[in-house]
Structure 1
């Protein structure tokens, strides 16, 4: 399934060019100013140090931006602004109980909206989450409709904005919805506070309870503040890399909460040092072990995305193990690396297939919501 994504990479390269120009101007201005002060026998040491640090900061920032644009992590001004705000900005205030989460700019008939909110955490070791939301075209106009939800997890390290700045998931979904390929859906992408080698699962004490946060904090918050259909058939969990492994494990363990799984670029052995410090914790989070000892209470479709740049045998071993348990499994093999560019290619196929498998059709009218079941684990 091909979805056209508007190429705005020229904006990213324009920002890189502007940054490079500013860095050159900074160096030239600093050199001239220091020379002028020395000719007049004025002290220039502090100025040289301060100005030098400023110029080096500009050079480093421009270099990082060039890497981000070159790898497709950011490609346009909006993405650059979002990443910048995520890194240095303050998280939004948490919404009051019962206050709806509405996009700052209303949706239109053809375009959804993304923005960030704060989801409070009551789970050990997990801070409040600066979470990005997507609501579909028509959300602001049809105030009686309720929607199914995709919970999408980033990789490690990563941020809640990655699915939108790097994979352009909002544009992907707008295109799929506009074409009638899928019904309108809501997306919730929480920041899971992952380290460079980490997975969004519960760590042994005193480690962070990422999985508990997702199931016990994020899902109830979503149903309380967004117009969702708050039941298991209308929830799917997905992710990339560490988030892809996490979505698989969390989805298997919480079948009463999620009806389907999108696992992109999963792998066989978790990387978190806290898991490797405990043989039992590691075994409890190795996908083949979990798949083999899970009790499958009902049909659970799983999409597994495998990039050619990975060891493709790992993704296929996971898919084969799921198939042996009788689950409906779709394996997508893609030419590409373990990166967001490939994730962008995978997303339309994965979302289209999983939506068909779980049977989402159209937004539910007002009054059809059912109480959300209590999240419980079904894995042994």
Structure 2
């Protein structure tokens, strides 16, 4: 029997050792994703959500993390950002590259358009039930500077409304192809048949839409974030906004996104950013714009470790 050269055994052993170390490192650095629900007093029903926890969350028991709430689209659910949006892979990549800090992402589920509509008090449940639950059960910041909110389509509609209504709660907002249509949704939009906006006769409630859309919040928001005479800054900072849309969107999201940008630039001209992508109202566009959206948001959402390093 011919003996193999010693160097071949050494190479094989070293290769096996390297592969084992690589596998162990990959396992140790892996983020985790969990699905949960809790009893919501506002809804009178379970409130579902998915949570992304960054590498080392379980081990770093003293670390407080920034938190970003990501809202799904019309007739979507709490699994969409993971199953279709590549949230976990994108967050892992951006964190490992140092573009964003290790953070917690909360992806709630809703049967409404993130409004207190005809079918569900989704807005109230978000603020009164979900946020307190998250801050009680996860090590996330409970200050404005450590919170962001984003969403796609109907979730973009919701994220914009949440930020404008409560600028005291969020440091940044991202709206991907926001379904923030003015004055009303286009005829092909699912908003026209969504239970959130259907009255007792099953008709689209145009008045409710206009009462809940971002245009109804603009003036109150402007007053809150605009410094008063003789003051250098307002009591509540403005919320920097990222907007994206596909150029071939069947709901004309580019046009409505431009309207949103123009309205916001009148209030905060240096704190609005908009990107346009080839494609339509699809996950291809939202996956493409997610890294830019997160990079933008974390220019304004605080990283506690970065702050400690600068002290």
What range describes the TM-score normalised by the shorter chain of this pair?
Answer: 0.7 to 0.9
Superposed counterparts of 1:233-244, under 5 Å: 233-244=145-156
Superposed counterparts of 1:1-380, under 5 Å: 109-124=28-43, 127-194=45-112, 199-203=113-117, 207-267=119-179, 268=181, 269=184, 271=191, 272=194, 274-275=196-197, 277=199, 278=205, 280-294=207-221, 295=223, 296=225, 297-310=236-249, 311=252, 312-326=254-268, 328-360=271-303, 362=305
- Give 5+ residue unaligned stretches, structure 1: 1-106, 366-380
TM-score, scaled relative to structure 1: 0.62
Q: Distance in 2 between matches of 1:188 and 1:250?
A: 15
Match of 1:69 in 2: none
Deviation at 1:305, TM superposition (A): 1.1
Deviation at 1:119, TM superposition (A): 2.6
Deviation at 1:315, TM superposition (A): 0.6
1:264–1:225 distance in 2 versus 1, CA, 3 Å: same
Decide whether the 8 Å contact of 1:148 with 1:363 is kept in 2: no
Decide whether the 8 Å contact of 1:145 with 1:364 is kept in 2: no
Deviation at 1:151, TM superposition (A): 0.3
Aligned Cα root-mean-square deviation (Å): 2.2
Q: Distance in 1 between matches of 2:301 and 2:41?
A: 30
Decide whether the 8 Å contact of 2:35 with 2:48 is kept in 1: yes
- Give 5+ residue unaligned stretches, structure 2: 1-25, 186-190, 200-204, 226-235
Which of the pair is proportionally richer in strand?
Answer: 2
TM-score, scaled relative to structure 2: 0.75
